[in-house]
């Protein structure tokens, strides 16, 4: 997924190459999305570890 949308690039061209500063709200929502994705990945890793441990114990 690109960091910026095509609309931002179109408007950046209008501002002579300078992209408009992102609003604090959009920065916050990007941060929240990133942290949520990281938490989800961590949760999946933890689930996989538990599953591996269970399978290991069941095969003993």
Q: Per-residue confidence at 19, pLDDT binned at 50, 70, 90?
A: low
- What is the span of the domain harbouring residue 45? 6-58
Residue reference for tokens 């209008």: 14
pTM exceeding the 0.75 threshold for the entire prediction? no
Number of structural domains the chain divides into: 1
Q: Is residue 50 part of a domain?
A: yes
Tell me the percentage of the chain whose pLDDT exceeds 90: 0
Q: Per-residue confidence at 58, pLDDT binned at 50, 70, 90?
A: confident
Asked whether residue 34 carries a pLDDT value surpassing 70, the answer given is yes
CA distance 6 to 22: 14
Put residue 19 in one of left, alpha, beta given phi > 0 → left and psi -120 to 50 → alpha: beta
Q: Is residue 1 part of a domain?
A: no
CA distance 26 to 40: 21
Q: Is residue 37 part of a domain?
A: yes
């Amino acid at each position: 997924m690109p960091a910026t949308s095509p609309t931002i690039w179109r408007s950046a061209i209008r501002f002579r190459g300078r992209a408009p500063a992102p609003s604090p709200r959009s920065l916050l929502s990007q941060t929240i999305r990133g942290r949520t994705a990281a938490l989800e990945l961590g949760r999946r890793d933890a689930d996989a570890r538990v599953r591996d441990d269970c399978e290991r114990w069941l095969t003993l």
